[in-house]
Amino acid sequence: MPRQSDTEPDSAARARGWPAAPLVAVLALILAACHTDRQAAETAGMLGRAATALDVARTEETKRYAAAELAIAEEKLAQARNAARQEEFDTAERLVSESLVNVHLATSKAEAARIRAELERRKASPAAAGERRS
């Protein structure tokens, strides 16, 4: 039959177990910091890609036909940068996505306006008028 000292830790063994709790807490903080660093890096990458997309979208055509959408995209990107500085990475990523939606909307709207103008130009051209009479 096992002796009581074999099955129950003595007070010295229990005392040695207590330092594990602070160690676990420190490890949890380190892991959280690593997660925050990784999320910060991912958010920074998203911000960079959104800024590039916005720069590419700023054409004269887009400024003319989709100025409101460009302005919204710029505002959302500014808000995303601010959220990232505040380490509100989930909010920053959502705002980056909203900015990109407005960039795509602006470029699509400008492209549609360009196509409409081209169709109107073709309809009005003398060659097109002659083809319709034949």
**Who wins on pLDDT, 2 or 45?**
45
Dihedral angle of Cα 26, 27, 30, 36, to the nearest 10 degrees: -120
Report which of 129, 41, 16 is spatially closest to residue 92, judged by C-alpha positions.
41
Secondary structure of 24-68 in HEC code, one letter for each residue: HHHHHHHHHHHHHHHHHHHHHHHHHHHHHHHHHHCCHHHHHHCHH
Do 85 and 36 contact (CB within 8 A), yes or no?
no
Rounded to the nearest 10°, the torsion over CA 63, 68, 72, 75 is 70
pLDDT bracket for residue 36 (50, 70, 90)? confident
pLDDT tens profile 80-119: 999 999 999 999 999 999 999 999 999 999 999 999 999 9
Sequence-ordered list of residues with C-beta below 8 angstroms from that of 113, at least 6 positions apart, any chain: 61, 64, 65, 66
